[in-house]
């Protein structure tokens, strides 16, 4: 099974040695990685000022994945409410992740793709499955393929088996599992890392049945996910515990760092989170111990900067044919009612 792949890698490296005067190895991570691009779907499903913390949650993850290299064009950010410009916010145009106000997760350039009432169950499922209306702009599409690693992060208010979207609707765990299965069948992903930070969060991934999904949740069924602390200057619960520790962890991750997914999965022990972090590994084929965290959170491409000129041995000739012979086909109208198909009985 592995033979052709090895041959390919071998020939590639061999050729590179042949071509370059100074041989540069492609980093091993990329040699071994089986995906070609990274996407992130980050969703905050709750609105209203007292849910400030959920916006802070989702922007914390946004900040991290963006810093680790996933471009805005490959991040779908759904935020239900505008906390930064809420008139109650005593620090306008900012959203902080802790009471010391060290990190402004709102940053300078947040690109929100779905906002306000656009954040709905329908839009979310359409986004995942790619069944969007034809006039949807690129920024609102999840243009993944079979080589995409997708990070899905959800936060909001949930219960056993559902996640509430705004105040009007909810998505059930079964619906979510079906949407992911549809993605798999349509070859819209290579691997998915699913994170959810709500109450009874683990109930949301229990129904998953599609392959290559690694899922983690901030709390088990029957547990509440708790907020981390209050910022008494702003007067709200500022961030949830799980995401607070996730951000603390991700802040120390760099594009070149060697941290693995198993470290990420252990990021919030029970004494810190108070709730138990749930993990589901059975659908995921690789060992999280060996999967670098940048497989999901970063988008590190094999870019090698060289100052030397490269001799390209044979230049592929571009077919330069001119389309002169083709004349547009003449078309006529068919009769509106196919009378000619009917046998004339008279």
Under the binding rule (CB under 8 A), the answer on residue 90 touching another protein is yes
Choice among 54, 199, 228, 268 that is catalytic = 199
Nearer to another protein by Cβ, of 88 and 254: the residue is 88
Number of alpha carbons in the 13 Å side-chain half-sphere of residue 131:
11
Under the binding rule (CB under 8 A), the answer on residue 87 touching another protein is yes
Nearer to another protein by Cβ, of 46 and 218: the residue is 46
Query: Residue count at the site for another protein (CB under 8 A)?
Result: 17
> Per residue, what are the HEC states of 138-201?
HHHCCCCCCCEEEEEEEECCEECCEEEECCCEEEEHHHHHHHHHHHHHCCCCCEEEEEEECCCH
Under the binding rule (CB under 8 A), the answer on residue 50 touching another protein is yes
Under the binding rule (CB under 8 A), the answer on residue 49 touching another protein is yes
Tell which positions 282-341 bind another protein, by CB under 8 A: none
Nearer to another protein by Cβ, of 46 and 129: the residue is 46
Tell which positions 212-241 bind another protein, by CB under 8 A: 230, 232-237
Number of alpha carbons in the 13 Å side-chain half-sphere of residue 71:
4
Candidate list 8, 19, 36, 88; residue touching another protein; CB under 8 A? 88
Element (H, E) at 7: helix 3-19
Q: Which stretch binds another protein (CB under 8 A): 84-92, 146-154, 255-263, 281-289?
A: 84-92
Instruction: Give the 3-state secondary structure of residue 40.
Output: strand
Nearer to another protein by Cβ, of 196 and 238: the residue is 238
Residue 99 in tokens: 């009471």
Calpha distance 42→334 (Å, rounded): 51
Degrees (nearest 5) of the Cα angle 161, 226, 128? 40
Shortest distance, position 143 Cβ to another protein, whole Å: 37
Instruction: Give the 3-state secondary structure of residue 249.
Output: helix
Catalytic (active-site) positions:
157, 199
Residues that bind another protein (CB under 8 A): 48-50, 85-90, 92, 230, 232-237
């Amino acid at each position: 099974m592995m033979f052709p792949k090895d041959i390919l890698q071998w020939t590639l490296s061999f050729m590179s040695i042949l071509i370059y005067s100074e041989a540069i190895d492609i980093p091993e991570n990329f040699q071994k990685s089986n995906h070609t691009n990274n996407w992130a779907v980050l969703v905050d499903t709750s609105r209203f000022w007292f849910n400030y913390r959920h916006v802070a949650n989702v922007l914390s993850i946004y900040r991290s994945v963006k810093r680790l290299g996933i471009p805005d064009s490959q991040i779908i950010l759904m935020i239900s409410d505008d906390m930064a410009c809420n008139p109650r916010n005593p620090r306008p145009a900012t959203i902080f992740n802790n009471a010391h106000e060290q990190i402004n997760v709102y940053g300078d350039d947040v690109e929100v793709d779905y906002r306000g009432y656009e954040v709905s169950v329908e839009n979310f499922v359409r986004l995942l499955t790619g069944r969007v209306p034809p006039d949807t702009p690129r920024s609102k599409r999840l243009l993944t393929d079979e080589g995409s690693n997708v990070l899905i992060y959800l936060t909001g208010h949930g219960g056993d088996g559902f996640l509430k979207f705004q105040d009007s609707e909810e998505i059930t765990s079964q619906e979510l599992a079906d949407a992911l299965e549809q993605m798999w069948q349509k070859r819209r992903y290579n691997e998915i890392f699913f994170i959810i930070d709500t109450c009874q969060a683990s109930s949301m991934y229990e129904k998953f049945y599609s392959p290559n999904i690694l899922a983690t949740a901030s709390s088990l069924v029957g547990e509440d996910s708790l907020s981390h602390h209050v910022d008494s200057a702003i007067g709200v619960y500022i961030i949830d515990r799980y995401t607070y520790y996730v951000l603390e962890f991700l802040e120390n991750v760099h594009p070149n760092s060697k941290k693995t997914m198993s470290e990420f999965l252990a990021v919030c022990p029970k004494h810190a989170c108070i709730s138990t972090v749930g993990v589901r590994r059975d659908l995921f084929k690789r060992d999280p111990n060996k999967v670098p965290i940048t497989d999901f959170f970063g988008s590190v491409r094999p870019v090698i900067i060289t100052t030397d000129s490269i001799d390209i041995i044979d230049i592929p000739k571009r077919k330069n044919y001119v389309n002169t012979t083709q004349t547009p086909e003449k078309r006529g109208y068919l009769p509106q009612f196919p009378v000619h198909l009917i046998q004339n009985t008279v």
